[in-house]
Every structure is written in structure tokens, then in C-alpha cells.
Amino acid sequence: MDTMMLNVRNLFEQLVRRVEILSEGNEVQFIQLAKDFEDFRKKWQRTDHELGKYKDLLMKAETERSALDVKLKHARNQVDVEIKRRQRAEADCEKLERQIQLIREMLMCDTSGSIQLSEEQKSALAFLNRGQPSSSNAGNKRLSTIDESGSILSDISFDKTDESLDWDSSLVKT
């Protein structure tokens, strides 16, 4: 029974010491701790709000980037189509120029007069008498302004290596 009384007395003394600690005026420290917790909660809430705002901005930027990627793809396809169209037109033009040259040579070489042409046909073919264009102009069929703009545009790279890169922003670590 003595040990039991000793244990009860020890418990009572511990309880009295704890009551004294609480009544020593540590309330100010507890109030300051509560205020600090409230400040940190408000900071966390603001940070969480900013995070949401930046996530929205990121989603908008990714949407805009994907739209621009689609536009770029369409523009590249259009450039390819226009290049092929120009090449076909140039090939057709060269073919017609060769045919005109053959007709001119045939008419010039016909000294026997076996080819009979009406006045309307002669006037239509009168441009053949002007002679051949100078050799310096023959190789340069395009206008100089087009060549100049072509040289400016030649800096545009159609390199598609950036398309092989994975720009998935979900993989980017923050």
C-alpha cells in the first residue's frame, strides 16, 4: 500500500507541476503560436491560389502552342504544295519554250516555202522574228524582286528536327 500511495503522490506532484507550467503566463507564447499558424495558413492559401492561376496560364499556353503547331504544319504543307506547283509550271513553261523554238527553227529553215501561212498566222507568229533572248536572261527567268525575296526567305528553315522532340510539359520537373 505504501508503494501505491507513493505512486499516487508522484502522479499528483507531476500534475501540480504541469498546472504551474500552464499558469506561468505562457499564454502569450501560445497566442503567438496560433497567430503564426494562421499566417502560414494564409500564405499557403495564397500560394495555392497562385498555383491554380499559373496552371490555368500553362494550359492556355499549351493550347496556343498546339494551335500554332497545327498552323505551322499546315503552312509547311502549303509551302510544299506551292513549290511543287511552281516546279510543274516551270517545267510546262520550258516545254512550251522548246516547242516555240522548234517552230521558229522550222520556219527559219524553210527556204523552199513549203509551209504556207495566212496573214493571221504570220502576225501571230511575228514574235518569233525577234530572235532569242540574251543568254544572260535565259537562265534568269524570274523577276529580280522575286529572287531578292526568295533570298530573304531562303533563311527560313524547313528543318523538322524540332518536331521529333517531346515537348510534353507534364514531364518537366518543377
Domain membership of residue 54 (yes or no) is yes
Nearest partner of 22 among 34, 10, 14, 37, judged by Cα: 14
Residue 125 pLDDT: 76
Per the listing, cell 492559401 goes with: 45
Is 65 within a domain?
Answer: yes
- Count CA atoms closer than 13 A to 67's CA, side-chain side: 6
Q: Which of 79, 84, 72, 85 is nearest to 154 (CA)?
A: 79
Residue 26 grid coordinates: 505562457
Domain region containing 59: 48-112
Domains of the chain: total: 1
Read off the pTM.
0.46
Q: Residues 2-61: pLDDT tens digits?
A: 776 777 788 788 878 777 776 776 777 778 878 988 999 999 999 999 999 999 999 999
Over the stretch 160-174, which tens digit does the pLDDT of each residue have?
Answer: 555 555 555 555 444
Is residue 52 assigned to a domain? yes
